[in-house]
Structure 1
Amino acid sequence: MRTGWKTLGVLAAAASLVAGVASPAGADGRIGWAASWSASVQAPVAGLLGPNWSEAGFADQSVRQVVRVSTGGAAVRLRLSTAYNKAPVRLAGATVGKAGAGAEVQPGTLRPVTFGHAASGVFAPGKEWLSDPVLLPVGPLDRLAVTFYFAEPTGPATFHAFATATSYRAAGDHRFDRGAGAFGETTSSWYYLAGVDVLGAARPHSVVAFGDSITDGAGATQDADNRYPDELAERLAAARRPVGVANAGIGGNRVLNDSACFGEKATTRFQRDALDQPGVRTVIVLEGINDIQSGGADFECFLPNPVITARQLIDGHRALIKAGHRAGVRMIGATLLPYKGSMFFTEAGEKVRDEVNAWIRTSGEYDSVIDLERATADPADADKINPVYDSGDALHPNDAGYQAMAAAVDLGRL
């Protein structure tokens, strides 16, 4: 591997920012680093769309998670979250490498990951932690395999429920396995891994896609990286624009109310999940349909379930805009997609959606607008999602729908 002096200098500068113990995320002032992949974390919860390992946690087990970065750089670092753990987490070790098929790792790419120059460590609950820089040059849209080994019981684990991707588990320490043979168990969630940042030569620039399940990628093909933020990353890569795309969607998330299943409300998690992302300059907000759907809905995960007015939802968006502008971030509002025919559709809810969308389009309070409603609406009935974009539930797009959403983004406004 040939590495230029400039790359080594950038890496050395980054390494000098890491203290002798693991540092909480944000401690380096974001110098040189850009968020290239992210997952917004949640409290442990029983399986919603299938089994997950969050409530049981891990003990003498290796967890391998495959993620696709959006932009490249000379080095990477991991962000590990203990946001919802109740006790310290002992990490016995970690590795990162370029992913092959399934749980395989490409030859010659596997690297050890340290935190505070230590191969193992104890991580206090309620925080996000940065790894030391790892000299693993990556390109735009490269897939990485991140493996954590937990020798001792973790207790219930901080995680991200709806990954639309396969994670793998093996008994014992298999951090340095290039093969997939030991990883016989799978799930569709991510655990402890909150982000992958890349170190580039240029001034860092990331776009955060902030929202609910439609940002999270519900309805997209498993393991295909076809969520709308993924499709946006592909457009940026094709245009040779070194802009990272960080996905801050949580399935079922709401603007105004927490959920035991679907995470803290947007106005609470916005700082951590959007504004604290390294290199963030732009945030795209697509959220509110679950606030509308949950009003009075007979669904445990939608508790509390107050009926929300358009004014209340608009005020929630205003709070996000104010926070973003205070941080010097460009705020882009996306109109809410059609949902007529879906499980929780009501005419009263449709009226709220129309009012909120009209405000997003015309108020001028967002710096820019992406009209995703019009990009995905059925030409025969604007209140319904176009059948060619419907994943089957009249709410979530399919792969073609997510591609249409990304195509509606004016790259020049990012």
Structure 2
Amino acid sequence: MTRRHGYALLAAIVSLIVALSAALYVGVASDESGDHTTTVVGRGAPRGSAQPASTGTWVGTWSASPAAAEPGTETTGLAGRSVRNVVHTTVGGTSARITLSNLYGQAPLTITHASIAVAAGPNTPAAAAGTMRRLTFAGGAPTVVVPAGGQVMSDAVRLTVPHDGDILVTTYSPTPAGPVTYHPHARQTSYAAPGDRTEDVTAAAYTEQSPSWRYLTALDVLSNEADGTVVVLGDSLTDGITSTPNANARWTDVLADRLREAAASGADVPRYGVVNQGISGNRVLTDGLGRPADNPSGLNRFARDVLGRTNVKAVVIVLGVNDILRNPRLADPHAILDGLRTLVGQAHARGIKVVGATLMPFKGHRGFTPEREAVRQQINAEIRAGRVFDAVVDFDRALRDPYDPRRLRADYDSGDHLHPSDKGYARMGEYFDLDDLKGAAPAEL
């Protein structure tokens, strides 16, 4: 070999090494669809953010539907305050990203500082040591402007997110922008503090408590323990309005635990994160008041709250009771069933399987009448006959009193004769057949 040929060979080897090194560290910070395995390079941590790349699938580990404008925040919003939301995960991952909503805002919302951390323990605004990370947007910017009526997704950040654990997501806005988009009845205590305390790891400044989630509507993780997301669309029965606060006792929490434990044991069940899109008082057909409407109907929010979630493989629909109870006239069962079938059609158009629930009994509730009970029975008959959903979870049968099927069983009743107790919610989560989540939408003929 001549010296000239030797130099050429050496140069080719060096070029190949450089190319391979560059390819190894190329990452994708955000994947809107979440449908593909992704490589992510972490960034944005306040300190020591350089970490090895990781692979996995983007899935939803937590979410909450934007439900209304928070009363009392119409003019200044939460300007000059750090808002620290505490949320509970259903699956773990090695990277995370969040979605912030300004759906009910009347002006652009400027977030100048945002962070994410693992909580130091249950129900605390303090961060676990070494987990505080700064969040960025649009490829590295620390500041983001969320337009009125809009939402934004953060860049991905490297963080080991545990399953069945609490995560702290904190935002700071220095300028007035109201009203605040929020989700009431969180059944989880969140916090606020004066000034920019976004990266404070202690709980000292966070003395203001809130029973609601503000701005934050989704937490996704890059996960090796889940392959997709199941979205539960519902009303207060899914929101868990009568469950014990800070106990994660909603029926969807029980479902998530069962899925994770079954998959870990090697059972042939889907590996899904579970996200809860329940809004108390929600109906299939009718919006609440306001513009944009508070408490948007299932029909109006399905595209955003279900189809817009990350890597959705299945949806569970638990809606219809409020269409009966909150209608000043006798509800039309055919209209409610048509609305449910419309939701199923939208899911099928995306290849998503739909599991639907029967409507649970409410005798003893102030809204009960024999006529409304007849509407419930008619809807349940159609659901059980298989003429609405791909699969059925019969929550009516699971929770009703065997001696008076128009009532909830006493130990499953929270006391208002409509919403379950913690034991009732546990029964719902345990009664759900995990096999019903398998597969995709049936082929259209």
Give the TM-score normalised by structure 2.
Answer: 0.82
Going from structure 1 to structure 2, the CA distance change for 1:382 and 1:339 (only over 3 Å counts) comes to same
Q: Distance in 2 between matches of 1:273 and 1:10?
A: 35
CA change 1:56–1:160 in 2 (3 A) is farther
- Matched with 1:22 is none
SS in 2 for 1:135: strand
For residue 226 of structure 1, give the secondary structure of its aligned residue in structure 2.
coil
Select which of 374, 377, 381 maps to 2:400: 377
1:13 and 2:36 matched? no
Match of 1:49 in 2: none
| SS in structure 2 at match of 1:316 | helix
Other-structure match for 2:46: none
Alpha-carbon displacement from aligned partner over 1:131-182 (angstroms, at most 9, x marks no partner): 1011012232121011111111121111111111111111001111111111
Partner residue in 2 for 1:275:
307
2:25 and 2:167 mapped to 1: Cα distance? 19
1:114 is aligned to: 136
Indicate the residue corresponding to 1:94 in structure 2. 114
* Alignment-derived partner of residue 54 in structure 2: none
SS in 2 for 1:97: strand
**What does residue 295 of structure 1 align with?**
327
| Pair 97,372 (structure 1): closer, same or farther in 2 beyond 3 Å | same
1:234-249, aligned counterparts within 5 Å? 234-239=257-262, 240=264, 242-249=271-278
Shift of 1:201: 3.9
- Does residue 281 of structure 2 align to residue 256 of structure 1? no
Once residues 307 and 391 of structure 2 are traced to their aligned partners in structure 1, the CA distance between those partners, rounded to angstroms, is 18
Tell whether 2:249 aligns with 1:226: yes
CA distance in 2, matches of 1:107, 1:200: 22
Task: Kindly tell me the number of residue pairs found equivalent between the two proteins.
Answer: 385
Query: Aligned residues: percent identity?
Result: 38
8 Å CA contact 1:210–1:248 kept in 2: the answer is yes
- Which of these residues, 164, 168, 187, is aligned with residue 145 of structure 1? 168
Match of 1:381, as an amino acid? D
Q: Is the 8 A contact 1:44 1:55 kept in 2?
A: no
- What's the counterpart of residue 86 of structure 2? 66
What is the CA–CA distance in structure 2 between the aligned matches of 1:30 and 1:55, rounded to whole Å?
42
In structure 2, C-alpha distance between the alignment counterparts of 1:196 and 1:54, rounded to whole Å: 26
Cross-structure match for 2:99? 79
Distance 1:28-1:245 versus aligned 2 partners, 3 A rule: closer
Structure 1 residues 199 and 10: alpha-carbon distance in aligned structure 2, compared to 1, 3 A threshold: farther
Specify the code of the residue in structure 2 equivalent to 1:251: S
Quote the residue 2:68 is aligned against: 43
Query: SS at 1:159's partner residue?
Result: strand
Question: Are 2:357 and 1:334 aligned?
Answer: yes
For the residues of structure 2 that align with 1:63 and 1:34, how far apart are their CA atoms? 25
Match of 1:405 among 407, 423, 428: 428
- Cα gap change, 1:187/1:11 in structure 2, threshold over 3 Å: closer, same or farther? farther
Deviations 1:20-76 (A, max 9, x none): xxxxxx466666311110000023043xxxxx7677520110011111111111111
Q: RMSD across aligned C-alpha pairs, in angstroms? A: 2.1
In structure 1, distance between residues paired with 2:285 and 2:103: 20
* Matches of 2:173 and 2:198, distance apart in 1: 10
**Cα distance between partner residues in 2 of 1:374 and 1:273:** 28
Q: Is the 8 A contact 1:59 1:152 kept in 2?
A: yes
- The answer (yes or no) to whether the contact 1:39–1:194 under 8 Å persists in 2 is yes
Instruction: Report what 1:34 is aligned to.
Output: 59
Paired AA for residue 108 in structure 1? G
Judged with a 3 Å threshold, the aligned counterparts in structure 2 of structure 1 residues 30 and 171 are, in CA distance, closer, same or farther, namely: farther
CA positional deviation for 1:82: 1.5
Conserved in 1, the CA contact under 8 Å of 2:412 and 2:424? yes
Separation in 1 of the partners of 2:362 and 2:247?
25
Post-superposition Cα deviations, 1:174-197, rounded to whole Å, max 9, x if no partner, equal 111111111111121111101000
C-alpha distance 146-10 of structure 1, shift in aligned 2 (>3 A): farther
Q: SS state of the match for residue 14, structure 1?
A: coil
Matched with 2:194 is 171
CA gap 1:399/1:141 in 2 versus in 1, 3 angstroms: same
AA partner of residue 59 (structure 1): A
- The reply on whether 1:210 has 2:233 as its aligned counterpart is yes
Secondary structure of 2:116 counterpart: strand
The aligned amino acid for 1:328 is G
Contact 1:54–1:191 (CA<8 Å) still a contact in 2?
Answer: no
Aligned equivalents of 2:244 and 2:318: distance in 1? 21
Helix, strand or coil at the partner of 1:413: helix
TM-score, with normalisation over the residues of structure 1?
A: 0.88
